[in-house]
Structure 1
Amino acid sequence: MTCAIYFHPEAYTTAGPKLMGRNAAGESFLRGYLAHSRSSTFWAQVERPEHAQAFAAAVKAAGRSEPVQSVDKNTLAALSQPGTVYYPAPGLGPQAWQRAAFGHEQWSLCGITHTTASSKVMDAIAELLTTPVQPWDAVICTSTAVKDNVQRILQAQKDFLVQRLGITRLTLPQLPVIPLGIHTQDFVYNEPQKAEARRNLGADGNTLVVLFMGRLSFHAKAHPLAMYQALEAAAQTLPAGQKVVLVECGWHANEYIAKAYADAAGQACPSVRIVNLDGRKPEDRQTAWAGADVFCSLSDNIQETFGIVPIEAMAAGLPVVVSDWDGYKDTVRDGVDGFRIPTLMPAAGLADDLALRHALEIDTYDMYCGHTCMLIAVDVQATAAAFSRLFAAPELRRQMGEAGRQRAQALYDWSAIIPQYEALWAQLADIRAQQAGLSLKLPYPWPARMDPFAAFAQYPTHTLNTNTRLALVDASKAHAQQRLQQIQGLAMVNFTQQVAPGSGEIDKLLTALAGGERLAGELVQGLPPERRLYVLRSLAWLVKMDILKVVS
């Protein structure tokens, strides 16, 4: 099924100045889409010409020879040809309003969740109920946990609309659960690569290497204290001569955060050697993945929705120790691919103050995430027990690592995910075909962007219409043309060529009026049908220039 990718280069690269999870997901998706899509033409919706060029270059670099088409704001109607627009965010409202100008049934919209905790995204989700999103649209939820979060926001918004407006009918997009994908082959390492990685880490045969991969942010990703405490407890149970190394492969946003990590590790796990690698460097990521024995990610943050690193670890053949949290609940099978560690969060109703502080911008988004994560606990004793079991049993590590590898290849490789996207887009097209004719046609489908002559209809003395009688101001056509030519040379006039009639059209109008006054409808009757309404309104432009006058 063909789809137009809403393409802004920044959303599909990890080479930008600020690397976030959505950038990594976008870059991986585009690579997967271009590798596995069955599309016969690659479409992109772009804001700028250079973005279209960048998309075409990406298609070519991926080895695809199919035609590439781009659509911008001047050609939006062409989106009816691919039939679906993939927008890499959950907020489809603005795109739905733009589509309204061409007809809701002209194409489908498909968004996707990333973080849903920010005020901007929560507002965008709530607005799905008050924007012209249709049943043939979809917001892909990357986990069952985030789908529940989206549904809770929508329910709260519905409750408000029922109380406020007494609404009885809602139109919702589809909310399918489709996980993010990875390129599993990127995480396959041979024995020489593994041996070299361990040498680089200074890890001998008696060293157990635990890996954390990702942005090192205690307030916005995964608070590391539980991991540190559990590793220290597990390290104390090791036989003499064995030791633990923790590789933190990521990046700190600033020196304050880097020092906070160092101080916490020094206090909580003094027996564990910490190795810091830069997760933005491919060579450091390879060293981390190839050299590790166990992967750990104890996510405890509401800004996470899926969490891609556990499936990357599974693709690398590593057993995983992860929190029982968000998307990890879907991806990691407890006791099979590794261990999911229980988490604890206060009951609903105990954080209204935090929500209000965030809403009123007393707290920044980062502080909002930080406050909530400090009230979400990961079971340290259960984490330590999981580490101890894996440290003590090489065969268990191998079995869990192999089970995870097979699961990652079967379920989370882009070769398995892209067909699910394309099947969804085909399903949306079917729904659109079945239901499109049932939608009510409104005179102003985008109420806040009405025709200005309708919105401000009370302002003028008279309204130009087909029954308006017009005449030349001048005694002759020649004099009118001469004056108009002079007027059109003025900068304050020629800046609006978009609303002025063409020179040939002007000539026809003046010729007709040289024979006497005429109705506006008569003046445009002889023009091509597609130009009649355009020229009808431009008669007001000629009146403004004092070339024509209204005859009472």
Structure 2
Amino acid sequence: MIGIYSAMLPISNKRADTSEFVGVQVACREFVKNLAQYSPAGDVGLFVSQAEVEQTRRALALLQSVDGGNTDTASVWEFEQIGEAIQQRDITAFHNILAPQLHILAYIRSKFASKPFPITALTHGFSVQPVLYEFFTRYLLTPTQPYDSIICTSNAAKCAFIKMIGHARESLEATGCRIPDRPCRFDVLPLGVDINNYQPQNRAIAVRQLGLPPNKVILLYFGRINHLTKADLNPLLLAFQNLVEKHGDQIVLLLAGNATPVEVVSIEAFCRRLGIADQVVLRPSPSLLEGPLYYAASDIFVGLSDTPQESFGLSILEAMASGLPVVVSDWSGYRETSEHGRTGFHVPTLWGKADDEVALFSPLINWKQDDLHLEQSISTDLHFLTHYLDLLVSNQDLRKGMGDAARQHCVSNYRWENVISQYWALWNELASIATSRQHPEYPSTLPMGDQPRYFEAFSHFPTRCLTTSDHLTITERGLHAAKTPQSMIIHDEMRGVLSQRAMIALLRFLRFRKSLKRSVTVDELVVPFGKRYHFSPSRLMAHILWLIKYGHMTAAQQT
């Protein structure tokens, strides 16, 4: 039996047409459903608190009645029954679907197991400061075994997780703690997608059912709409403005995903400012049942990520399974799930060492604000974003060919049946290693962690990183902002972090250098602007990266 540890199984007891899930909840919900569907009878045990037993059983029944999955093979156990279950059943492994917290499973194994078995845990997002202690310090102080594994959903996530462990180790050892090496494995297994629920459908019917404008090329963003914790959509709106100048009213941008009223007001105001409000459709409360219809009604999927929290991208799988070409950020796991030039396009991303102040104060501020500060220094190339979208808008045959390739890519690599088979293969491999091993003991005290080093851990996520030798050039948008500073749009939460006065000065300096037909390197700005505005190199870099993100300047590597 596979034991699934879950402090609370992330399956809502609401109806599926009114639920408000986020990515992690959807991933866990689908994992449990398909693990039960594709595992041998009686081989999945869900362990929850006594108060959650009935809710979990109702949630499993709801999955079966609404989604049609077979969850009868899953049994529900109280935590107080863990010892009984381990003694009665042959445990292949214990798995944590919610977070990479092996210490909980190690505790279960040390207290109740008469023979060793593997423990595994799945990573989701892990870039925020509060998890330094919960994930990484606890990991270092848990005596893991060669048959234990942290399972990452992408190679990018695996690399970042190992870096974060290294940072935590350095911090602890600097205080005199002696941290032994841990033999735990790091394996990469993807999440999956329901290829029957997400598949090409009659587009005209889907458009009509959702009340969308007919006879338009529809570009879809589907995901949580939150500039604090998901993605800043303003650069996408800037690129769409460029497309409207060429294609007029033949295109529509559809933004669908859970959004707060404040977020809706902000996006609508930005669209009016750009003159594209009539061609942007905002749907802030799509249901799970409507999800496949939004993909079916659309022609192109756009998935942009600018946060280290994003390590995989479920919506990309859903779009590809639905037969849509995908235009996504060349970022983290996004670049691993789709294929550039075959299933769609990867848009180059840029980041730089701009996290010194963010990291210094991260233990003191809300992690969402922390995430926003990082996000505002990570940019997606507006030129290539506009170019790739234009190629697909202009060429129906290209859309069809890439959409078909995307569907086949999903069927071959990400159908849940294959993903669950990979999990079972890993668990069986680890269990075979465990059979000859001794059962370990575990510590009871854990020290605290330290401040994060975001850029060091996640610098491999973007296409490339901005360097001090890069040449900066002002754009037409930047020239306009230098002349009319009020046209510069800055999120309210960033006004105390970004100096508009300094950025206008930067743009005007670049404008002057352009008049002399000379570019400027980042390094040339460090001393004069650092002295004038009391900027550290990291803070100056944050301002430059924001200007690049919003299309006010471009950066080119030295040739």
Q: TM-score if structure 1 supplies the norm length?
A: 0.73
- In structure 2, distance between residues paired with 1:40 and 1:74: 16
**1:247 partner amino acid:** L
**1:42: how far off?**
2.8
Q: What is aligned with 2:144?
A: 133
- In structure 2, distance between residues paired with 1:122 and 1:272: 45
Q: What is aligned with 1:3?
A: 2
Q: Which residue among 384, 387, 390 is the counterpart of 1:388?
A: 390
In the alignment, does 2:211 pair up with 1:212?
A: no
Q: Alignment RMSD, CA only?
A: 2.7
Q: What is aligned with 2:169?
A: 158
In the alignment, does 2:75 pair up with 1:68?
A: yes
- In structure 2, distance between residues paired with 1:67 and 1:103: 21
Q: What is aligned with 2:358?
A: 354
**1:178 partner amino acid:** L
- In structure 2, distance between residues paired with 1:124 and 1:99: 19
**1:84: how far off?**
1.4
**1:304: how far off?**
1.3
Query: 2:252 aligns to what SS in structure 1?
Result: strand
Alignment of 1:21-60 (within 5 A): 21-48=23-50, 50-51=52-53, 54-55=56-57, 58=60
Q: 1:75 to 1:202 in 2, by over 3 A?
A: closer
- In structure 2, distance between residues paired with 1:148 and 1:107: 26
- In structure 2, distance between residues paired with 1:292 and 1:303: 27
Q: Which residue among 364, 367, 370 is the counterpart of 1:368?
A: 370
Q: 1:9 to 1:155 in 2, by over 3 A?
A: closer
1:45-102 per-position Cα deviation (integer Å, ceiling 9, x unaligned): 2211642673487279443554736252354363363231111211122332343234
Q: Which residue among 103, 122, 125 is the counterpart of 1:93?
A: 103
Q: What is aligned with 1:527?
A: none
Alignment of 1:347-496 (within 5 A): 347=353, 350-359=354-363, 361=364, 363-434=365-436, 436-437=437-438, 445-448=442-445
- In structure 2, distance between residues paired with 1:198 and 1:286: 14
CA contact (8 A) 1:32 1:415 kept: yes
In the alignment, does 2:290 pair up with 1:281?
A: no
CA contact (8 A) 2:19 2:287 kept: no
**2:254 partner amino acid:** V
1:162-198 per-position Cα deviation (integer Å, ceiling 9, x unaligned): 444474841142211111111011112432x543425
CA contact (8 A) 2:229 2:372 kept: yes
**1:424: how far off?**
1.2
Q: What is aligned with 2:483?
A: none
CA contact (8 A) 2:124 2:311 kept: yes
**1:125: how far off?**
2.7
Query: 2:185 aligns to what SS in structure 1?
Result: coil
**2:80 partner amino acid:** K
- In structure 1, distance between residues paired with 2:362 and 2:3: 35
- In structure 2, distance between residues paired with 1:268 and 1:364: 31
**2:262 partner amino acid:** Y
- In structure 1, distance between residues paired with 2:78 and 2:212: 53
Q: What is aligned with 2:186?
A: 175
In the alignment, does 2:353 pair up with 1:342?
A: no
1:288-331 per-position Cα deviation (integer Å, ceiling 9, x unaligned): 21210101011111221211101100001011111111210110
Q: Which moved more, 1:207-216 or 1:80-89?
A: 80-89
**1:431: how far off?**
2.0
**2:70 partner amino acid:** G
Q: 1:222 to 1:5 in 2, by over 3 A?
A: same
CA contact (8 A) 1:100 1:446 kept: no
Query: 1:295 aligns to what SS in structure 2?
Result: strand
Structure 2 runs not aligned, ≥5 long: 447-559
CA contact (8 A) 2:228 2:371 kept: yes
Q: Which residue among 243, 249, 261 is the counterpart of 1:234?
A: 243
Q: 1:47 to 1:107 in 2, by over 3 A?
A: farther
CA contact (8 A) 1:96 1:131 kept: yes
Structure possessing the higher relative contact order (Cα contacts under 8 Å, 6 or more residues apart):
2
Q: 1:332 to 1:33 in 2, by over 3 A?
A: same
Q: 1:151 to 1:174 in 2, by over 3 A?
A: same
Q: 1:147 to 1:196 in 2, by over 3 A?
A: closer
Q: Which moved more, 1:5-14 or 1:395-404?
A: 5-14
1:190-229 per-position Cα deviation (integer Å, ceiling 9, x unaligned): 32x5434257444333x11000101111121121111111
CA contact (8 A) 1:225 1:268 kept: no
Q: 1:415 to 1:283 in 2, by over 3 A?
A: closer
Q: Which moved more, 1:405-414 or 1:32-41?
A: 32-41
Alignment of 1:501-516 (within 5 A): none
1:269-297 per-position Cα deviation (integer Å, ceiling 9, x unaligned): 52761112244424542442121010101
CA contact (8 A) 2:48 2:76 kept: no
Query: 1:114 aligns to what SS in structure 2?
Result: coil
Query: 1:19 aligns to what SS in structure 2?
Result: coil
- In structure 1, distance between residues paired with 2:286 and 2:211: 17
- In structure 2, distance between residues paired with 1:328 and 1:233: 24
Q: Which residue among 195, 201, 207 is the counterpart of 1:190?
A: 201
- In structure 1, distance between residues paired with 2:114 and 2:276: 61
Q: Which moved more, 1:259-268 or 1:310-319?
A: 259-268
1:369-410 per-position Cα deviation (integer Å, ceiling 9, x unaligned): 111100001101100000110011100000100000001111
- In structure 2, distance between residues paired with 1:132 and 1:268: 56
1:439-474 per-position Cα deviation (integer Å, ceiling 9, x unaligned): 6x66xx44449xxxxxxxxxxxxxxxxxxxxxxxxx
Query: 1:302 aligns to what SS in structure 2?
Result: coil
**1:46 partner amino acid:** V
- In structure 2, distance between residues paired with 1:53 and 1:201: 35
1:1-32 per-position Cα deviation (integer Å, ceiling 9, x unaligned): x3012245552348497632211111111121
Query: 1:237 aligns to what SS in structure 2?
Result: helix
Q: 1:397 to 1:104 in 2, by over 3 A?
A: farther
- In structure 2, distance between residues paired with 1:427 and 1:25: 24
**1:219 partner amino acid:** L
